[in-house]
Every structure is written in C-alpha cells, then in structure tokens.
Amino acid sequence: MNRRRSHEPVFWVLFGAGGVVAALTLPALVLVTGLLGPHDLLGEDALAYGRMRALAAPWPGKLLLLPLVALPLWLAAHRIHHSMHDLGVQVRPVASALVCYGLAAAGSALALVTLVRIG
Amino acid sequence: MSTRTIHMEILRYHPERGEAPRFESFEVPVHHDSSLLDGLRYVKDRIDGSLSFRWSCRMAVCGSCGVMVDGEPKLGCQVFLRDYGARVRVEPLAHFPIERDLAIDQHDFLDKLQGAGTWLVPAQTLDPAEGPRRQTPAELERFSQFSHCINCLLCYAACPQYGLDPDFTGPAVLSLVHRYNEDSRDAGKAARMELLDAEEGVWGCTLVGHCSEVCPKAVDPALAINRNKIESAKDYFLRFLTPRGRP
Amino acid sequence: MSRRRPYVRPMAGWWRRNPHHFLYMVREGTSVFVGAYAVVLLWALTALADGPDAWSTWLATMRHPLAVLFHLVVFVAACWHTVTWFAVSPKTMPPMRLGGRPVPASALVGGQYLAAIVTSGAILYAAAAAA
C-alpha cells in the first residue's frame, strides 16, 4: 500500500509552539496591552512610547517579541483551517490551507520586518 | 414486587422498505439489574421479533453490543436501565452505515485493522527451544493498556473526524499500531510508520479526545495517537538526516 | 435473500448534538480571538516603528469602549485556551519519566499552571515596574 506522507508536521510544530506561547503569556499580555495598560492602571507611562521602544529596539527585546506576536498567528491559522473542515464549510482543503497558513506566514514576516525597522 | 417501566425509543431501519430510519418506542420493565441489552432482548423476545441488534457475552468482553444511548456511545451490557428516566434513546453506533436497525456495517473498520500490521513482527525467526522472551514490568507497562482493546468501535462512534472523513484510520486501529510499536519484542515499527505518517494516519486527528472517554476498557487512544504525532514529526524532519529515509 | 442497502447518516450539525463535541468546538473557537489579538499586537508593532504619533493613535484606539469589550472577550478566550491547552497536555507532551517512573498527569498539569502564573507575574511586574 502506497500512502502519501502528510506535510502536517510543519504546521503542527508551529501550532504547538503557538499554543504553548499563548497558554503561558496571552492572558497577562491582554491585561497589559488591552485592559490595564491603556487606562493607566499599570502606572501612567507603562505603555509610553519611549519605554516600548526601549523594549523593542535591542536584539534581546526583538527576539522576545517576535514569537509572542508570530506564533499565536500559527495557532489560530491551524485551528481555523481545521475548524472549517469540521464545520463542513471548506470548499477545497488546499485553498483553505493556503489562505490560513499564508496569512500566518505574511503576519510573521511583517512582524520580523517591523521589529528590524524599530532598530 | 412492582417494577417501573421505561420507554425505549429505538431507531429502526429496514433496508428493503426504502424508508429513512425512524424511532419506534417500546415499553420495557425495569428491574434493578436490567441492562440496556436486557431491554433490547425483552423487546425482541416479547414485543417485536424483527428487531435486529448484535450481542454475545453480556459482560463487556466481546465488544458486540455497542449502541448510542441518548447520543453517547456505550456497550448495551454495561448500561443499566435504572440509571435512566422515563425514556431512553437507542441508536446504532454513529458514523457507521446502518445495515438494519441497530446493526451497523463494520467492514471499513475490519479492512483498516487488517491493513495496519497490528501483530508482532520479531527481528529474526525465533527458536522455541530458546524459551520464552521475557519482559520487565516497565516494558510491559509501555503497551499494556493498548492491548485491552476489544474492537467494540465506541471510539469510532465518538470521533467526529472519522464521521467527517471515513478515510481516517481512527482511534482503535491507531492505538493497536501503537501497542505493537511500543512492544520491546517487536521490530516492525518502520513498516507501520507509512500509515502513521499519512493524512489518514495520525494527522487526521484533531484531539477531540472523546475516544478516550468512551472506551469501556480504559484504553487511551488519544494518548496513543498524539504520542505518534511526535514520532511522525520526528520521522518527517529527521529523514533529511538519514540516507535511507522514505521520501 | 435480503438486499443490502446501508444507510449513511448525515454529519451536518454534529458538534451541536453532543456536549463534549460542543466544548471541542468552543476550544477551537478560542483561536479566532487569539488570532485577532495577535493582529492587534502586530498593529502595535507597526505603530511603534512608525513613530510617536502612530503609537499615540494606537494607544488612543485601545481606549475606545469597543476595544475594551474586544479585549474582555479575548481575555476570556485566552484564559480558556490556557485551561484547555494544559488539560490535554498529558496526552500531547513527550513521555516524561522521573526516577524511572512516568510523571503523573496531575504533576504535569500542575507544573504548567505554576509556569503560567510565574510568566504572567513576570509580564505584569515588568509592565508596571516603571510606574
């Protein structure tokens, strides 16, 4: 019997990494950037421009921020792709994979380029 | 001693009548020790002899009497009617074609089981004169639970991925593949990887996880499948480092 | 001689028929909000790169009532993702052994909650430190 090897491991590894990063950091990150920070509940300059630049400009900061932004995109892409199959709304699996993982790849590339741009 | 009764709403299907399946209700006495299977046998013996269903051992060993009970896959012999109220819905196992009444078509599963290499493949021909091949308790523990499968198909009825895509190998067969891969006496893992690595192998699973909850033998198919996602991912990436890897 | 005519039941709406399957879809559904939040973070990065004005605009947008509502929903979804991710981790993680015995599932899950609490504390502390 000749079976075709699935390329799922590539996306599964990124999905797994995204799932771990999201599970460990997202609740706290949402509090900081969405619920407490913008309303000065973490101190008045918690999200001040200069402070954020000081975080994102050095290379260790970039290496910290890149996975925080990019990996959850892969988590979402993977699950949305499979959920469309589960819900029976996938017209063609290849098209759904291209759109979902393509957007995650584009988002990751944008995050990388932007972080470099913050220089 | 007075006994209460229960309305068993059973999904009936007759292949020669050209009608879609429909529920039919039967009033059945409930004793303290009446299993759902006893209820089905009461219907067949006393009310309607044309009711079709499979059963044999009455003690959760043969794996024949799996049905959907109020939407959950269960062995009819393991369910007590006393645990249900005025009515209980009984349907054939989900995701399988209905042959007649509660009897489903198992051929797809049996074909998959035959094609998966779920038997011991020793490294070399063994000479019985050398005596038994011993295993340590730790070696046994690695596969023991997965060998308890009785092929009752409850896990397939619990798995929407199998229902959505019948090409998916499914929980029980993948657990049995894991059972032999983990056996210290076995040398057949390389040949079984082709199935695991495929879309219809472990990658058809999205870890719904219901298979492990419905298993009447406490096998954990979701664990077996997800352990093998790790194995398959290793196989995927490391083949570039080993010259003999499959493409 | 009987004629076979196996009847295949439809799958449409399968996830609404079983509570376990419904919870599975909810678990998968959290990813929509995780993805949307990642896009907001991406937007924050581009604003940071574009300069102080763009950053102020992003920060002001985050104060909009709709943004607050959005982040409340994301917060619930993210917490639910954490709970469900840890819950299945004994099945998804590579087998771990300690002193020759498998690490019990409760210890694996507990260890991850501990890691999440430490990480969250570190993020909140680092964010608030300058205040």
Partners of B236 on chain A (C-beta within 8 Å) are 5, 7, 9-10
Q: Is the predicted ipTM greater than 0.85, yes or no?
A: yes
- Give the DSSP per-residue string, C20-87: HHHHHHHHHHHHHHHHHHHHHHHHHHHHHHH-HHHHHHHHHHHTSHHHHHHHHHHHHHHHHHHHHHHH
The set of residues, in sequence order, having a beta carbon less than 8 Å from that of A20 and lying 6+ positions away, is C85
The per-residue pLDDT for range B35-73, each reduced to its tens digit, is 999 999 999 999 999 999 999 999 999 999 999 999 999
Strands C97-98 and C101-102: antiparallel
- pLDDT, average across residues B88-103: 97
**Token couple for A45:** 């300059």
Which is more confident, B18 or B178? B178
Closest CA to A38 of C35, C76, C42, C65: C65
Partners of C119 on chain A (C-beta within 8 Å) are 24-25, 28
Cα-based distances in Å from B100 to B26, B67, B69, B105, B223? 18, 13, 17, 9, 34
Mutate to test the interface with C, among A49, A81, A84 (most CBs of C within 10 A): A49
- Distance from the first to the final alpha carbon of chain C: 85
- A12–B237 CB contact, under 8 Å: no
Partners of C94 on chain A (C-beta within 8 Å) are none
How far is C40 from C46, CA to CA, in rounded Å? 10
How far is B107 from B96, CA to CA, in rounded Å? 10
Would you state the pLDDT for residue C131? 45
How far is B149 from B214, CA to CA, in rounded Å? 12
Give the count of alpha carbons within 13 A of C122, CB side only: 9
DSSP B44: I
With tokens 């699935």, the residue in question is A6
Mutate to test the interface with A, among B199, B226, B230, B239 (most CBs of A within 10 A): B199
How far is B81 from B60, CA to CA, in rounded Å? 16
Band of residue C128 on the pLDDT scale cut at 50, 70, 90: confident
The residue in chain B having the minimum alpha-carbon distance to the alpha carbon of residue A84 is B164
CB contact at 8 A, C71 and A29: no
Band of residue A45 on the pLDDT scale cut at 50, 70, 90: confident
Cα-based distances in Å from A111 to A46, A64, A67, B109? 22, 12, 9, 46
pLDDT of residue B83 exceeding 80, the answer is: yes
pLDDT of residue B222 exceeding 60, the answer is: yes
The residue in chain B having the minimum alpha-carbon distance to the alpha carbon of residue A5 is B198
Partners of A29 on chain C (C-beta within 8 Å) are 41, 123
Residue B246 Cα, gap to closest chain A Cα (Å):
9
Would you state the pLDDT for residue A33? 95
Model-level pTM? 0.92
How far is B227 from B237, CA to CA, in rounded Å? 16
Mutate to test the interface with B, among A1, A2, A4, A6 (most CBs of B within 10 A): A6
The residue in chain B having the minimum alpha-carbon distance to the alpha carbon of residue A13 is B233
The per-residue pLDDT for range C85-124, each reduced to its tens digit, is 999 999 999 888 888 788 899 999 999 999 999 999 999 9
Would you state the pLDDT for residue B132? 86
pLDDT of residue C130 exceeding 60, the answer is: no
Give the torsion through C-alpha atoms of B230, B235, B238, B244, to 10 deg: 160
Q: Of all residues in chain A, what percent carry a pLDDT higher than 70? A: 99
